[in-house]
Structures are given as structure tokens and as C-alpha cells.
Amino acid sequence: MPTITAVQPLAGTYTADPVHSSFAFAVRYMGVSTFRGTLGDVSATLAAGPDGAALEGSAEVASISIRTPEAFRDHVLSEEFFHVAEHPRIAFRSTRVELADDGRALVEGELTIKGITLPVHAEGSWTPEAELFGSRKAGLTLEATVDRTAYGLNWNADLPAGGKALADDVTLTVELTLLPAAADGEEA
Amino acid sequence: MRVLGLPGSLRRDSHNRALLRAAAAALPYGAELVEWDRLAELPAYDEDLDGASAPEPVRALRGAIAAADAVLLATPEYNASLPGGLKNALDWASRPHATNPLRGKPAAVVGASTGLFGAVWAQAEARKVLRTIGAHVLERELPVRQADAAWAADGTLRDPGLRAALEELVAELVAQVEPATVAEAA
């Protein structure tokens, strides 16, 4: 695990701009292709202070980009995958956030999918707060790989030509555009 | 040279009918594809109805297969298998086993589905059924996935890799036909 020289360049509380933030997933299927999708309805908060930063977020499973065909959507939302009726959102809470001078980011924490909480290690990059199109924004991009079966998303099938229909490893990519919270007088 | 196309779906705007049309356009020079469109007219297989006086659609199916040099099935996937209507047609075509018109006939299977996997399980089952009947079956598949978005405006497959694979498949199918047995072009 890489160690990053930690500095704390962001200060205060930031919330993710929902329009410019996303939670994406990619999984190999049929051995050769990659299926990509997103959960569009994402909320996240980054709180940064002198003692470090903490990231919390969640995403609504029903906002998954698989809309049609209906049978495909129903299958993905069913008990064989997300079981959305019982577990409508996935959630993340950090235990460690490091934003390095060179723009690298490292986040560790607990990811909850389908009611199962497991530690996850994510790496990526961040951009410091800056004036952009008339408002101040910062950015954070993280990528992690998780085993979907560890979260109980177990569906699979043997392909007629050999191999499995769907890979177990899923690459998660989180893109957050962070806006400073308006009236946050907590931080010095 | 004539290829008989059997669509496994009855729906007018079926992706598998579209796939047969794309296959027709991909055939090499001198080969034509004729679609057999009467699946819905076949009664459920019943040995009591079979024989010389079998129902007219059954006789038409057997005649169409006999008159073709090769057969191409395009199947959707129902519950991880081929549709009942298509299986029923193959069951009618398979009788009597020793002299059925599919025996020794070059055959291939393609398939389209709106899901991620392009009916690969239905295609595998269709190949198994065709092998059992005695057809000379190509051991390759053509999975058209997410078929709602698979087609260009001119009816060809959008994905160049799939388009090339379809051309290869139909070329291999017609290459299986013994020159001496080629039916007269209609």
C-alpha cells in the first residue's frame, strides 16, 4: 500500500454537486466485453479540518443507468443483484483520506452494498479548490475494485463456450465535484 | 444456392428477423436467403397428426427445408433456451428421423437479445437440437447483445466486429454446401 505525504489542502465542508458527480461501475462479461453503468443519484460530503479529512457518500440504486429493457433492469434490481427493495442505496464512509501535494488521493473506508459492509481501498486524484465558472469548486476522483460476490451480488452463469457470463471483480469509479458548503462557520 | 432463414420470434419488428435480413445482405454472391415465416401456423407436434396427411404448414416447412441448400436459424432467448415455437418447428421437421429434410443439411444458428448476452444459451440449445436431428451444424455462435441499440439505419449491424463475424458465419455456412447438391435458384 503506497504511503502518501499527507497535507490538508482543503478546509471546511464540501458537498458534491449532484449534476457533476457520478458513481460508475464497469464489469467484464462474456470474457471479452466490458459493461459500464452509473448510479446517477449521488450525494457526498467531504469534511476537511486540521486533523484530516473525512468523506461520506451514498448513491441510489434505483438511479442505475440500466433503464431498458425492463427485464434487464428488473434482473439487476432483483435479489440476484442489488435487491433494491430491501437495500435502496449503497453507502461509503471513509476511515482514512489522504490528499497529497502531487495530486494523488488515497481513501480507505467502509463500503456498504446490499446491507453488507466491507473495507475498501480507493486511489485516484484530486484538484484543489479553485474559481471555476463563477463558483469555487474542488474535484476528487477515486477508483476501487471490489468483488461483487462479497456483497452478495452473486448471479452468474456458465457460458456455452466455456467460462462465466460475468466477472466477479467490478471497477468502481467515483467522480465528485465538490462545492464549499455555504454557511459553515465551524472551521477556523 | 438457397439458404432457408428460420426466425425464432413471431414479433413483426423482431430483432431476429432483422438479423436474418442482415445475414441475407451478408451472403456471398450467388446465394440467396428465403425467410420461412409461418412458425405460428404450426400446431403443437402430435404424432397422430403426422404422416402423409400432415397439416399443410408442416408439409410446407418440410418442403422448404428440403428445397434449401442450408438452414440459418435466428433465435431469441426465452428462459435461457430457444422459444417453444422454434423448437416445435424443429420437432416437426425432424420426423421421420431417418429421412428428415435436415439430415446432413448445413445449418447455423445466430441470435439476438436485448440483454447482455445475445441469446448464447438459446443458440447453444438450438445447435444441440439440430445436431440431434442430424443436421451438419456449424459450431460457432453470433451473439447480438443489447439488440435495441444494435442496428444502423440501413439495417446493418452497428458493431463492425459483429458485422464481420456475421459475414464469416454465412460464408462458412454456404461453403459447407456440396456443389453437386445446390438447388436451382428460384
Q: What is the ipTM of this complex?
A: 0.74
Q: What is the pLDDT of residue A186?
A: 44
Nearest beta carbon to residue A160 from set B115, B121, B145: B121
Residue A34's pLDDT band (cuts 50, 70, 90): very high
pLDDT at A121 over 50: yes
The verdict on B117 touching A (C-beta cutoff 8 Å) is yes
Query: Which chain A residues contact residue B117 at CB under 8 A?
Result: 29-30, 165
CA distances from A81 to A38, A77, A91, A174, B61 (A): 15, 6, 16, 20, 43
Sign (positive/negative) of CA torsion A55, A61, A67, A69? positive
For B82, residues 6+ apart whose C-beta sits below 8 A from its C-beta are: B8, B75, B122, B125, B126, B129
Packed helices B160-175 and B15-26: angle between N→C axes, nearest 10 degrees: 70
Query: Would strands A166-180 and B2-7 be described as parallel, antiparallel, or unpaired?
Result: unpaired
Q: What is the pLDDT of residue B182?
A: 66
Q: What is the pLDDT of residue A69?
A: 85
pLDDT in tens, B69-93: 999 999 999 999 999 999 999 999 9
Enumerate residues 78 to 107 of chain B having a beta carbon within 8 A of any beta carbon in chain A.
Answer: 80
Query: Would strands A6-7 and B70-75 be described as parallel, antiparallel, or unpaired?
Result: unpaired
Could you tell me where the beta strands, DSSP code E, fall in A61-103? Answer: 89-100
Contact B117 A29 (CB under 8 A): yes
Q: What is the pLDDT of residue A133?
A: 75
The verdict on A31 touching B (C-beta cutoff 8 Å) is no
Task: Give the residues across from A104 on adjacent strands.
Answer: A125
Q: What is the pLDDT of residue A185?
A: 45
Picking from B117, B131, B140, B141 by the largest number of A CB atoms within 10 A of its own CB, the best residue to mutate is B117
Contact A68 B143 (CB under 8 A): no
Please name which of A60, A115, A114 lies closest in space to residue A82, comparing C-alpha atoms.
A114
